[in-house]
């Protein structure tokens, strides 16, 4: 279930999510509103998305231009700049470091709580840590990408 815009997510998490979505392909705001749901955002405050896009444009991390629409008025389409790609890379590194810290916390939490290995909470946390370890191995295998 999606969360309210900031609940349980890293501070200003919308920013790297938008940068990543624009790295995948240029898009207009309405499309981005739908695609950020994959990251746990709901549609309760679309104004926050547009304010963030304007801020990213002011910071020269994204650019926009009006483009014709096949079904209605022209739309403002956003795309990633070189500076935006560099910011995305920095934020991804920061998020990976944060994930490592959270996994350390959860591992110690499991030990401190002395949860039985067959308890649902232990299984859920252990599965999350195993998924993180697998993703870390895969990132290391792939190496840096541009």
Q: What is the pLDDT of residue 1?
A: 38
Q: Where are the alpha helices (DSSP H) in 1-146?
A: 14-24, 29-35, 46-58, 82-113, 120-142
Angle ∠(19,138,108) on CA atoms, nearest 5: 90
Do 25 and 63 belong to one domain? yes
For the record, the structure tokens of 66 come out as: 């009006």
Confidence at 2, pLDDT banded by 50, 70, 90: very low
The pLDDT tens digits for 71-130 are: 889 999 999 999 999 999 999 998 888 888 887 887 787 777 777 788 888 788 888 778
CATH number at residue 66: 1.10.10.10
Q: Is residue 48 part of a domain?
A: yes
| Domain tally, the chain | 2
89 closest CA partner among 111, 63, 61: 61
The pLDDT tens digits for 30-63 are: 999 999 999 888 877 889 999 999 999 999 999 9
């Amino acid at each position: 279930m999606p969360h309210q815009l900031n609940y349980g997510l890293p501070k200003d998490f919308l920013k790297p999510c938008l940068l990543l979505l624009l790295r995948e392909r240029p898009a207009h705001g309405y499309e981005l509103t739908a695609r950020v749901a994959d990251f746990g955002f709901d549609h309760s405050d679309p104004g926050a998305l547009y304010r963030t896009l304007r801020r990213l444009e002011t910071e020269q991390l994204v650019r926009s231009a009006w483009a014709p629409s096949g079904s209605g008025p022209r739309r403002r389409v956003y795309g990633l700049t070189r500076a935006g790609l560099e910011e995305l890379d920095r934020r991804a590194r920061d998020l990976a470091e944060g994930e490592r810290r959270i996994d350390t916390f959860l591992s110690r939490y499991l030990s401190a709580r002395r949860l039985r290995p067959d308890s649902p909470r232990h299984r859920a946390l252990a599965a999350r840590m195993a998924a993180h370890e697998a993703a870390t191995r895969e990132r290391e295998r792939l190496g840096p990408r541009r």
